[in-house]
Amino acid sequence: MTAVASQDLAAPSSDEPPGGNSRPAVSRTPTWRRLLRRPLAVISLAYLVLLVLAAVFADVVAPYDPADLDLDHVLSGPSAGHLLGTDPLGRDVLSRLIHGGQVSLVNGGVAALTFVMVGVATGLVAGFFGGWTDRVFTWAVDVVIAIPGLIVLLVVLTVFGGNMTVAMAALGILSAPGFARVVRGVTLGVRQELYISAAKVSGLPTRHILLRHVLPRVTGPILVQASLFFGAALLVDAGLAYLGFGVQPPTPTWGGMIIEAASVISQQPWLLVPPGITLALATLSFALLGDAIRDTSAERTGRQSGNARRRSAARRAELPRPAGAPDPAALLSVRGLTVSLPTSGGTADVVADVDLDVRPGETVGLVGESGCGKSITASALLGLLPAGGEIRTGRVQLGDVDLTTAGKSLLRSVRGSRIALISQEPVASLDPVFTAGQQVDELVRRHHGGSRQAVRARTLELLTSVRLRDPESVARRYPHELSGGMAQRVAIAMALAGEPDLLVADEPTTALDVTVQAEILRLLQSIQAERGMAVLLITHDWGVVAQVCQRAYVMYAGHVVESAPVAAMIDQPLHPYSAGLLASMPGRGRPGHHLASIPGTVPAPADWPAGCHFAPRCALATEDCAAPVPLSEPAPGRLSRCVHHDRLIEGATA
Amino acid sequence: MLQLIARRLSVSVLLILLISFLTFVLQSLAPGDVAKTILNSGSGQLGGGYTDEQYQELRRALGLDQPLLVQYWDWLSHAIRGDLGVSPVSGVDVTSAISSRLPVTVSLVVLGTVVTAALGIGLGMISAVRGGRLGRVVDVFSVIGFALPNFWLALLLVALFAVSLGMLPATGYVPIDVSPAEWARSLILPIATLSLSATASFAKQTRDSMLDTLSRDFVRMLRANGASEASIVFRHGLRNAAIPVVTLVGLLFIGLFSGAVFIESVFALPGMGRLAVQATEQHDLPVVQGVVVVLTLVVVVTNLAVDLVYGWLNPKVRVS
Ligand code: SF4
């Protein structure tokens, strides 16, 4: 849409992320070089440079004088003599177009310059000094954004006798607030960082901080916004010229040429084309250039290097071994599950060759740090991988159904009635615009049907069964009116609506207070006992595992590295990673623990080593660990993916 | 909620005062004044030349010799009673000039908003759910829609549908009480122009907010526990995506008032935009000022309406 109001012009800035916490570039190629690798950006830039050059050297480049009348050849279409034809007075259209650019580009430049100066200056000051300066700023932004911009331009034109330069400067000011907000956000971010690094405390002058630390960060947003705005300003300039303001005929302007074309629209409609297309392409180029700059600076902060990309591509070729047979006694039997997700450079396997069994009524833990693939495993079980995610190989056998080959409708009929989910953020997992009761109702209706009263009665029953003290009042409340614990109970009630055989609980207590955590765990245990339901509990918290699980799988970097009955594993882990996790096990339920005994963090999938994934962090690693390590069975019912598991036992006894 | 509305109202009143006062300040900064304009334009009874004495007399008659604040207060106290003064150029009462033009602009903008929002929401929803090619088409057209000057697009439509095909009138406006059919015909091209340039970007924004909703935790939770896809998209998706879309509709509505200024000129529609443009050409400040105040009121009322609907859709705001 033709962006004529200041509020439209400010719009592109709103989705610009405040770059305050963007990390330094991984890639060392300068932004402009990478910009030149984008064909659209190059074409746009070339077109704009051409326009500017043509306008600057108009006297030399234009084939005719723009004011030369040739009354013998009026309104001729494009011809060899007049490439773009002639206007009603026989003047050469191409020459007028070239000269017309002078006025338009200068006007656009005035607007863009004002826009940048006002936006940067006010944003910097507000973000840097904060306090009442910032409050005044915020208020002023609110006011200016609500001003009907184009009409105020008309006021300015009335008062200043049609002076276009003043009008364009006013346009710049009126459009600056959205941009100023972006600058303020970035500045605020830098200021907070500086407090942490104490640069400010050590007495650097303000000017120095602004120039050295803040300006470089806002250069990207400045270029993006200035480019988009320049395009919009050209449109406003042409529009005002079309309305008859600004430079008067016979001096050519693009907007003026459109008026002239309009007056002969029935004789020679072609005349509309050259000025309109020239203008539209200019605006389009500015918009595309702005987008390209935004994308390139976003790419710069992207994490994956070319090297890692190649390695993840190489891993794709290495096929996982054929999946073993599922356990017929198990309710859920996963074999050789391999899941890939899209990354910035293609796809990478984030879960590799996972085997997992859950028997009816059993509680099984799936344990690991964040980033080890346990939540993706859960999503894969439910057929809910994020867009682009794919189960590459493996089987997920739920009773008689293989979920990896099941069609959409079969999957849908299984979800809720045989396998269900509760997740980490209880409040976020409820729809904010419906009451708790309405949401449970929906699933009850879906699984059992029945009259409105019957459904609601069942809902209240469910809410009672999750030990909510006042189910009627909870049913009437919206999610934001519920505490975390209450919301999680409602979520459990929703999951129970279809009487599933297996409940996947994805970090169900992580976001809750310690006391509430214990209550929710007890609730899960008692529900399970009552209904004979199996639970797959995904968590990073050994306390939780120890309290409720019979068996546990430990995952690290996409692999199951150990599985065992919980008591046995706590007593004697058979994998260095499990041992490390257990050693750093906090007092029960203390959130945000650190793995004191394991240095480093889980590597990104692209950086997994070819051999044992844990090798870079493992104290026991030797050369033997550089080759892929299969799961072995060091003791009955126990599996370990470690070549040196026996050393753990020696270590324990020594 | 009430608190929010109270704050909005206080900002709004301040906004209107500030803008009207600013126009007064600008006026005093500018070279020349209304008296000179009248004398020069010759529409006064004095014709071309005038003496300094005549000039001073006219200034006194118009109250221009008073201090700025007194002049402003004078204007304001009348404006509150709905009297926006008299045009010194044409001698017309500003309030009645605006109220006779308002219906034209309002029908254009309201219908433009309805058409654009309906098409945009439809397209946005489909491309959110279906994705793929349609999504890319929407992306491309939203950039093109941004780049095309709408007055130029209007002229192209005139050249095609009015001049070449002769299907629709090129210019002019027929009031609805004269002939509803002709009224509709006279508005088709203007509305088509407004919607053509705005629909794609509206669709893109709708799609983005729909996709945003569909990627939220509760959607995963509903899917995992067996809610039907139709319910997820139309019940949960639509209700949640509607919250930001309401804000977008408000912005669209306000934006189209600016677009209408150009469209009214192209199609010679006797609306407020055209009034403002003519007044600007004639340095007729009271009229321009009147239009500014009325449009600011429109913005303020729109924002309030958006707030109310927003609160009604969003239980979080509704209750608090
Ligand atoms: S296989 Fe080697 S590197 Fe891996 S856990 Fe065992 S000892 Fe450590």
Distance from CA of B172 to the nearest CA of A (A): 15
CB burial of residue A322 (10 Å; 0-12, 13-18, 19+): exposed
- Predicted confidence at residue A305, as pLDDT, reads 39
Instruction: Give the mean pLDDT of B101-128.
Output: 90
Predicted structure pTM score: 0.79
Q: Structurally, how many domains does chain A consist of?
A: 3
| B48 pLDDT higher than 60 | no
User: Ligand 1: which atom is nearest the Cα of residue A643?
Assistant: 1
Q: Range with the lowest mean pLDDT among A175-184, A238-247, A613-622?
A: A238-247
Identify which has the larger pLDDT, B316 or A62. Answer: B316
Distance from CA of B183 to the nearest CA of A (A): 23
pLDDT, tens digit, for every residue of A507-562? 888 888 888 888 899 999 999 888 889 999 999 888 889 889 999 999 998 899 99
Instruction: Give the mean pLDDT of A135-156.
Output: 80
User: Ligand 1: which atom is nearest the Cα of residue A576?
Assistant: 5
- Give the max Cα distance, chain A: 109
Two structure tokens written together for A457: 């009665």
Where helices occur in A273-325 by DSSP H, the ranges are: 273-300, 306-317
Residues 6 or more apart whose Cβ sits within 8 Å of residue A403:
A381, A383, A396, A397, A411, A414
| A68 pLDDT higher than 90 | no
Residues 6 or more apart whose Cβ sits within 8 Å of residue A137:
A122, A125, A126, A180, A184
Note whether A421 contacts B254, CB cutoff 8 Å.
no
- Predicted confidence at residue B93, as pLDDT, reads 85
In chain B, residues with a C-beta closer than 8 Å to the C-beta of A294 are none
Percent of chain A surpassing pLDDT 70: 83
Neighbours of B83 (CB within 10 A): 13
Which is nearest to B58 in space by CA: B40, B75, B38? B38
Which amino acid, A426? P
Whether A247 and A112 map to the same domain: the answer is yes
Residue A20 lies in a domain: no
B16, B152, B228: best mutation site toward chain A, by most A Cβ within 10 Å? B152
Domain residue limits, chain B? 95-281
Residues 6 or more apart whose Cβ sits within 8 Å of residue B48:
B40, B42
- Predicted confidence at residue A653, as pLDDT, reads 43
The minimal CB distance from A429 to the residues B151, B217, B240 is found for B217
Residue with tokens 């007055």: B151
How many whole angstroms from A549 Cα to the centroid of ligand 1? 26
- Predicted confidence at residue A586, as pLDDT, reads 57
B131, B208 Cβ separation under 8 angstroms: no
Q: Range with the lowest mean pLDDT among A67-81, A383-397, B67-81?
A: A67-81
B210, B128 Cβ separation under 8 angstroms: yes
B33, B146, B210, B284: best mutation site toward chain A, by most A Cβ within 10 Å? B146
Whether A535 and A601 map to the same domain: the answer is no
Note whether B218 contacts A429, CB cutoff 8 Å.
yes
Distance of CA A267 to the CA centre of its chain: 53
| A475 pLDDT higher than 90 | yes
| B310 pLDDT higher than 80 | yes
DSSP A458-502: HHHHHHHHTT-S-HHHHHHS-GGGS-HHHHHHHHHHHHHTT--SE
Note whether A478 contacts B315, CB cutoff 8 Å.
yes
pLDDT, tens digit, for every residue of B266-284? 888 888 888 888 888 777 7
Two structure tokens written together for A460: 């209240």
Q: Range with the lowest mean pLDDT among A545-554, B143-152, B233-242?
A: B143-152
* B106 inside 8 A of chain A by CB: no
Distance from CA of A566 to the nearest CA of B (A): 28
CA distance B306 to A195: 40
How many whole angstroms from A561 Cα to the centroid of ligand 1? 10
- Predicted confidence at residue A505, as pLDDT, reads 92
pLDDT, tens digit, for every residue of A582-592? 877 654 333 44
For a mutational test of ligand 1's pocket, the pick from A614, A622, A623, A640, i.e. the residue with the most ligand atoms closer than 8 A to its C-beta, is A614
Which is nearest to B19 in space by CA: B300, B303, B261, B282? B300
Distance from CA of B317 to the nearest CA of A (A): 10
- Predicted confidence at residue A500, as pLDDT, reads 92
Mean pLDDT score of chain A, rounded to an integer? 80
Task: Using alpha carbons, list the distances in angstroms from residue A12 to A22, A239, A279, B29, B258.
Answer: 20, 21, 20, 33, 18
* B7 inside 8 A of chain A by CB: no
Note whether B155 contacts A231, CB cutoff 8 Å.
no
How many whole angstroms from A609 Cα to the centroid of ligand 1? 12
Residue A322 lies in a domain: no
Identify which has the larger pLDDT, A490 or A283. Answer: A490
Instruction: Give the mean pLDDT of B300-304.
Output: 86
Q: Where are the beta strands (DSSP E) in chain B?
A: none
> Per residue in A573-607, is it b (16+ CB within 10 Å) or e — as a string?
bbbbbbbbbbeebeeebeeebebeebeeebbbbbb
Distance from CA of A420 to the nearest CA of B (A): 5
Which is nearest to B108 in space by CA: B277, B273, B300? B273
Whether A447 and A369 map to the same domain: the answer is yes
Percent of chain A surpassing pLDDT 90: 19
Range of the domain at A620: 573-653
Q: Check pocket membership of A230 for ligand 1, CB cut-off 6 A.
A: no
The residue of chain A nearest to residue B148, with distances taken between CA atoms, is A280
| A460 pLDDT higher than 90 | yes
Sign of the dihedral through C-alpha A345, A347, A349, A351: positive
Which is nearest to A286 in space by CA: A144, A115, A165, A148? A115
How many whole angstroms from A326 Cα to the centroid of ligand 1? 27
Instruction: Give the mean pLDDT of B23-32.
Output: 69
Which is nearest to B171 in space by CA: A273, A316, A262? A262
Which is nearest to A259 in space by CA: A98, A88, A106? A88
Residue A557 lies in a domain: no
Two structure tokens written together for B130: 């279906």
- Predicted confidence at residue A26, as pLDDT, reads 41
Q: Check pocket membership of A557 for ligand 1, CB cut-off 6 A.
A: no
DSSP at B158: I
Whether A339 and A465 map to the same domain: the answer is yes
Top-ranked range on mean pLDDT: pick from A172-181, A198-207, A253-262, B31-40: A172-181
How many whole angstroms from A613 Cα to the centroid of ligand 1? 8
pLDDT band at residue A185 using 50, 70 and 90 as cut-offs? confident
Q: Which helix (H) or strand (E) segment is B156 a member of?
A: helix B150-157
For a mutational test of ligand 1's pocket, the pick from A559, A574, A620, A650, i.e. the residue with the most ligand atoms closer than 8 A to its C-beta, is A620
Identify which has the larger pLDDT, A65 or A605. Answer: A605
CA distance B66 to B171: 44
> Residue A99 sits in a domain of what CATH number?
1.10.3720.10
| B296 pLDDT higher than 70 | yes
| B319 pLDDT higher than 80 | no
The minimal CB distance from B225 to the residues A281, A421, A481 is found for A421
Domain final residue, candidates A301, A321, A353: A301
- Predicted confidence at residue A585, as pLDDT, reads 66
- Predicted confidence at residue A627, as pLDDT, reads 86
Pairs of CB atoms within 8 A across A/B: 263
pLDDT band at residue B46 using 50, 70 and 90 as cut-offs? very low
pLDDT, tens digit, for every residue of B177-214? 777 888 888 888 889 888 888 888 888 888 888 888 88
Whether A282 and A408 map to the same domain: the answer is no
For the domain bounded by B95-281, which CATH number is listed?
Answer: 1.10.3720.10
pLDDT, tens digit, for every residue of A608-619? 888 899 888 888
In chain B, residues with a C-beta closer than 8 Å to the C-beta of A276 are 148-149, 152, 155-156
Q: Check pocket membership of A576 for ligand 1, CB cut-off 6 A.
A: yes
Residues 6 or more apart whose Cβ sits within 8 Å of residue A473:
none
Strand order, beta sheet including A363-367: A419-422, A502-506, A534-539, A363-367, A551-556, A559-565, A638-640, A632-635
* B195 inside 8 A of chain A by CB: no
Residue A518 lies in a domain: yes
Residues 6 or more apart whose Cβ sits within 8 Å of residue B301:
none
Whether A469 and A541 map to the same domain: the answer is yes
| A153 pLDDT higher than 90 | no
Strands A638-640 and A363-367: unpaired
A118, A172 Cβ separation under 8 angstroms: yes
Query: Which residue puts its alpha carbon closest to atom 3 of ligand 1?
Result: A615
Distance of CA A237 to the CA centre of its chain: 36
- Predicted confidence at residue B42, as pLDDT, reads 53
| B33 pLDDT higher than 70 | no
Residues 6 or more apart whose Cβ sits within 8 Å of residue A185:
A18, A20, A127
Note whether A417 contacts B226, CB cutoff 8 Å.
yes
Whether A453 and A343 map to the same domain: the answer is yes
In chain B, residues with a C-beta closer than 8 Å to the C-beta of A48 are none
Task: Using alpha carbons, list the distances in angstroms from residue A60 to A33, A82, A84, A87.
Answer: 32, 16, 18, 21
Q: Check pocket membership of A625 for ligand 1, CB cut-off 6 A.
A: yes
